Amino acid sequence: MSDEIAKSDRFDDRVALITGAGQGVGRQAARIFAARGAGVAVLDRVKERAEAVVAEIEAAGGKAIALGADVSSEEEIGKAVAETEAALGPVDFLVANHTIHPCGTVLETEPVEWDLMLDINLGGTFLASRAVLPGMIERRRGVIIGLSSDCVVRSCRDAAAYVASKAAINGLIRSIAIDHGADGVRANIVTPGVTKTPGLEQVYTNNRDLDESTARAAGQSPMNRIGLPEEVAEGIAFLCSERASFITGAELLVDGGMTVSYSGD
């Protein structure tokens, strides 16, 4: 039985394309998928970050390629998928992990900032999904993971555009699940809580004291801490594994209980 369980966690002869994979959750997901046998396309807006992750994977004996692309560009996403297929094979798993997180209420958010947020967070997930779906449907096999936010569940102050973009991702992923379940494609949402990533540290540093903000966030969790990138990445890997073969259109909260205990920011 233990051998069967171990096998169901493996990604041998599979290919994962992970966006926003140069740091944080994406980096850890790339490392986990590679360690479990997948070929991994590490995509990041800053290619040097992707190359650093690939170096880590290769040093551990894994197989990966680095891609630099703007996820809001249909042309660049199409090229990235083509490069992935040429180097590693057809994409079995898409993890749409990329995100930007400018702060502001509706009145504080300029229309150009709103458009950029939707183009990257939501548009990038749409374009990447649209690029890999035909191959998944043809092979009748594939998994798409969209990254949401606990702010969609509990709402957050001063993040109107960010929360809206993440809520829209939830709807998009569920639509993919409904439309393409009969084609052999599963689509699920992973919703992290406050997680120790470079992006979070930047947001906290820009708006408040980093240590104070981290301590406040930790106090909102019954576990009295914030999450780690590898904990979110493990949730992503589970939903892509054979152990989740009958799970689609679902949302997995990886938040240390923050959304059930949150009392306001």
Query: Which positions are annotated as active-site residues?
Result: 162
Rounded distance, CA 203 to CA 140, Å?
40
Write out the two tokens for 210.
Answer: 């980093």
Order of strands, edge to edge, in the sheet holding 251-254?
Answer: 63-68, 39-44, 15-18, 93-96, 142-147, 185-192, 251-254
Helix axes 123-139, 74-87, angle to 10 degrees: 40
Three-point CA angle 90, 28, 17, nearest 5°: 15
The tokens 């939707």 sit on which residue? 118
Q: Which of 42, 14, 45 is nearest to 27 (CA)?
A: 42
Q: Which of 90, 50, 97 is nearest to 71 (CA)?
A: 97
- Cβ atoms 64, 14 nearer than 8 A: no
* Residue 37 zone, left/alpha/beta (φ > 0; ψ -120 to 50; rest): left
Q: Which of 227, 146, 216 is nearest to 186 (CA)?
A: 146
CA 170 vs. chain centroid, Å, equals 12
| Cα distances (angstroms) measured from residue 74 to each of 81, 118, 119, 248 | 11, 14, 11, 26
